[in-house]
Amino acid sequence: MKHLTTTADFTVKEIEAILQDAELFGKSIKDGTKLDKILEDKIIVTLFFENSTRTRSSFEIAAKRLGAEVVHLDVVNSSTKKGETLVDTAMNLDAMSPNAIIVRHQNSGVPKILSNHTNASIINAGDGAHAHPTQALLDLFTLKKHFGDVRGKKIAIVGDIKNSRVANSNIELLGRFGMEVILVAPPQFLPKTELRSTHFLKEIIDEVDAIMSLRTQTERHSSQTYASLKDYASDFCITSELLGERDVLLLHPGPVHRNIDICDALLADKRCKVLEQVSNGVAIRMAVLKKLIYDV
């Protein structure tokens, strides 16, 4: 296995090994102990056609913690603006012999296409509404840290599921690890699904162990799909009133729309693991880079 385009590229056994490595890397970061620079002399390119705060910086930090050099292609000032195709861009970067190219693109399937044209590992950092594998891996890692065994636990994924690569990757991955995923969304944000689904948060709030709230991804909407974000929030915002004292973990991949996805008070509540997800993202991406570059 050389590329990571979806979570399905890894077997359960491979994912368990990645989680174990991430646990060690995370502990080492927390304790400040020295890490072996196992990626010394390796070069990693980041190629982001969509904005990112968490994914790009955590891949870069993960790579640097393991000793790799990171080269970021500034897409806006690159020759893609002179008409060079995406495949040619990837092939030309690959001709400089990097070890991995981390790609984010607005179109589904781009990482898979590029993986047919490079010797470097292609790592999907999010493609359209299709997949965001390292986000799902860090979400699983976060859930396992709190629950231990996640088998049989119930998680509600709430919001703009139809346009969410995070939802797609989590549905595939969490299902494979034995979690029951319930989809909660208004009709226009609910994909065709065989999973249990509802339009009403109150229907599932008493039975779930975790809630994963999602951002409303207006950049992927071809027309206005909700009267207003305020109207959306009145039905789907995770509020203190809704959660009450329930023992439920609250996740969100970020960026969060405050008081639309999750209310201010809950973002500061100990049940909310949003920043813990971000920290776990570095450890997971270190483990993914180790698997794809070092272990080959």
Measure the CA dihedral 87/92/98/103, to 10°. -30
Contact region with ligand CP (CB under 6 A), list: 14-22, 36-44, 51-59, 152-160: 51-59
For the four alpha carbons of 237, 238, 243 and 248, in that order, the dihedral sign comes to positive
CB of 282 to ligand CP, least distance (A): 13
Q: Is residue 253 a contact point for ligand CP (CB under 6 A)? A: yes
Dist. CA 196–CA 193, nearest whole Å: 8
Beta pairing partners, 131: 127
Q: Is residue 163 a contact point for ligand CP (CB under 6 A)? A: no
Contacts from 15-21 at CB under 8 Å and sequence distance 24+? 15/137, 15/140, 15/173, 15/177, 17/291, 18/137, 18/284, 18/287, 18/288, 18/291, 19/137, 19/140, 19/141, 19/144, 19/284, 19/287, 21/286, 21/287, 21/290, 21/291
The DSSP-derived string for 194-228 is SS-EES-GGGTTTT-SEEEE----GGG-SS--SS-
CB of 134 to ligand CP, least distance (A): 9
Dist. CA 179–CA 31, nearest whole Å: 31
Selection from 215, 214, 287 nearest residue 4 by Cα = 287
DSSP state, residue 2: -
Q: Is residue 128 a contact point for ligand CP (CB under 6 A)? A: no
In this chain, which of 126, 128, 133, 159 binds ligand CP, going by CB under 6 A?
126
In this chain, which of 54, 154, 196, 199 binds ligand CP, going by CB under 6 A?
54
Q: Is residue 159 a contact point for ligand CP (CB under 6 A)? A: no
CB of 103 to ligand CP, least distance (A): 13
Contact region with ligand CP (CB under 6 A), list: 46-54, 111-119, 197-205, 224-232: 46-54
Q: Is residue 2 a contact point for ligand CP (CB under 6 A)? A: no
CB of 251 to ligand CP, least distance (A): 11
Q: Is residue 79 a contact point for ligand CP (CB under 6 A)? A: no
| CB nearer ligand CP, residue 102 or residue 204 | 102
Q: Is residue 53 a contact point for ligand CP (CB under 6 A)? A: yes
Known binding-site residues for L-aspartate equal 82, 165, 215
Q: Where along the sequence are the contacts to ligand CP (CB under 6 A)?
A: 52-55, 126, 132, 135, 253-255
Known binding-site residues for carbamoyl phosphate equal 54-55, 104, 132, 135, 254-255
Known binding-site residues equal 54-55, 82, 104, 132, 135, 165, 215, 254-255
